[in-house]
Amino acid sequence: MGSTKTVRFNKEDEELVNAYLKATGKTFSQLVHENIVNKIEDEIDIKAYQEFLKTDDGTKIPFEEVAKEFNVEL
């Protein structure tokens, strides 16, 4: 088990979060963990895509050609 963090909500946000937890059956820890990890992964993906765009020369390869190269039947 890891460390404990505190999150402060105003009354309206707390009610929203509690209603969501009740509707989904998730714990608060599950909700926070899933969303933090997803956010971090999204930001890593965006950064990788931005780096890729710096070297992208615009070349496009038709899907059929890629499938043929990898011996995939369409």
Q: Which two tokens stand for residue 1?
A: 């088990």
Residues 33-53 have pLDDT tens digits of 999 999 999 999 999 999 999
Domain count, the chain: 1
Q: For the chain, how long is the longest CA-to-CA vector?
A: 58
Residue 32 lies in a domain: yes
Q: DSSP string of 32-44?
A: HHHHHHHHHHHHH
Residue 36 lies in a domain: yes
pTM, whole model, 2 decimals? 0.64
Residue 74 lies in a domain: no
CB atoms within 10 A of CB 25: 7
The CA distance from 13 to 17, in Å, is 6
Q: Helix (H, G, I), strand (E, B), or coil: what is residue 5?
A: coil
Residue 60 lies in a domain: yes
Residue 24 lies in a domain: yes
Residue 4 lies in a domain: no
Task: State the residue range of the domain holding 18.
Answer: 11-69
pLDDT > 80? residue 29: yes
Residue 1 lies in a domain: no
